Amino acid sequence: MEGRNRSSESCAIGIPAEQQPRPHQLPNSTAPVYRNEEEAARARCRYLCLLCVAIIVIIIVFVFRILFAINKWNNPKFGLNSLSVSNFNISGSEISGIWDVEFLAKSPDFLFTNNYPHPTLAVYYQNQQLLLGKKLPRIHLPRKKTISYRVNALAMATSIQDKGVADAIANEWSQQKVVAFTVTLQPISPHNGHRWIVNVVCAHVKVGFSSNSTSSSSQGTLLPESSANNKNTHRQAFTRCSNTYL
């Protein structure tokens, strides 16, 4: 018995230390093994940095999407601020004159600047087009701004085919000294494509002619609204027109 015990003890003692099983050791563990604590700290730092960057990117994308969704409905608005006609003349069915027009353009857009290339302006009396569509210079509308857009010396010379319409406008011009026109600015289509196309219609805009106007030529200017005052000229401009977004 003593011999066997001595033999087993000698065998146990003969096992190299590095081959002896260690308590709580997981031989199949997939956890990375670091040489020292400094390397482990660097790995944790890199992980935290990547996590922070990912969170910041997600927050930025989320905030931008919210702002873009809100700003999507901040459509520009156009209003008619002034309208005048000089050398206005009606002879039978022939009508001529020179128009000066000023629009106000207001942008509540807080993300983008809008550029509208070559809008077209027209002037109507009832359903008769008097000033054929004139292609105008581009409109540059900065964000969160209200600008004046003026076009001068638009020559009109046309023939009214409908005798009833010709007689009606001649009567209003010569007798009442007030003629109601409709001014359109359309289509206003932005080049960058992220905005809506805008059609502007300023209907039944009254132009008053001086009482000493002759039948050969006269001057007419836009009449202010009866309830308006000088402090609300911009508000008048925008209430004169409807803006339709397509």
Q: Are residues 126 and 229 in the same domain?
A: yes
Q: Are residues 89 and 159 in the same domain?
A: yes
CA 11/CA 22 separation, integer angstroms? 18
DSSP tag of 174: I
Domain boundary among 19, 42, 71: 71
Q: Are residues 98 and 215 in the same domain?
A: yes
End-to-end CA distance of the chain: 104
In a domain, 180, yes or no: yes
Within 8 A by CB and 6+ apart from 136, the residues are 118, 119, 120, 121, 151
CA 29/CA 210 separation, integer angstroms? 99
Mean pLDDT of the chain: 80
Domain span at residue 45 reads 31-71
Give the tens place of pLDDT for each residue, 95-153.
999 999 999 999 887 777 777 878 899 999 998 999 988 888 888 888 888 999 999 99
Give the tens place of pLDDT for each residue, 169-216.
999 998 889 999 999 998 765 555 545 678 999 999 999 998 665 555
Q: Are residues 185 and 222 in the same domain?
A: yes
- At 10 the pLDDT is 46
Give the tens place of pLDDT for each residue, 8-66.
444 444 555 555 555 555 555 555 555 678 888 888 898 899 999 999 999 999 888 88
Total domains present in the chain: 2
Q: Are residues 194 and 171 in the same domain?
A: yes
Phi, psi values for residue 205, rounded to 5°: -85, 125
Put simply, whether the predicted model's pTM sits higher than 0.85 gets the answer: no
Q: Are residues 160 and 205 in the same domain?
A: yes
Query: Residue 246 — very low, low, confident or very high, per pLDDT cuts 50/70/90?
Result: confident
In a domain, 186, yes or no: yes
In a domain, 1, yes or no: no
Q: Are residues 89 and 107 in the same domain?
A: yes
In a domain, 171, yes or no: yes
- At 99 the pLDDT is 95
Residue 156: pLDDT over 80: yes
- At 231 the pLDDT is 56
- At 161 the pLDDT is 87
Q: Are residues 200 and 161 in the same domain?
A: yes
Q: Are residues 137 and 94 in the same domain?
A: yes
In a domain, 24, yes or no: no
Looking at the DSSP bridge assignments, the partners of residue 83 are 101
Phi/psi class of residue 92: alpha, beta or left (left: φ > 0; alpha: ψ in -120 to 50)? left
In a domain, 187, yes or no: yes
Q: Are residues 144 and 159 in the same domain?
A: yes
Within 8 A by CB and 6+ apart from 219, the residues are 84, 85, 86, 88, 209, 210, 213
Q: Are residues 52 and 125 in the same domain?
A: no
Q: Are residues 131 and 218 in the same domain?
A: yes
Domain boundary among 41, 71, 101: 71
Q: For the chain, give the percent of residues with pLDDT over 90.
A: 39
In a domain, 54, yes or no: yes
In a domain, 104, yes or no: yes
Query: Residue 167 — very low, low, confident or very high, per pLDDT cuts 50/70/90?
Result: very high
Domain boundary among 51, 71, 91: 71
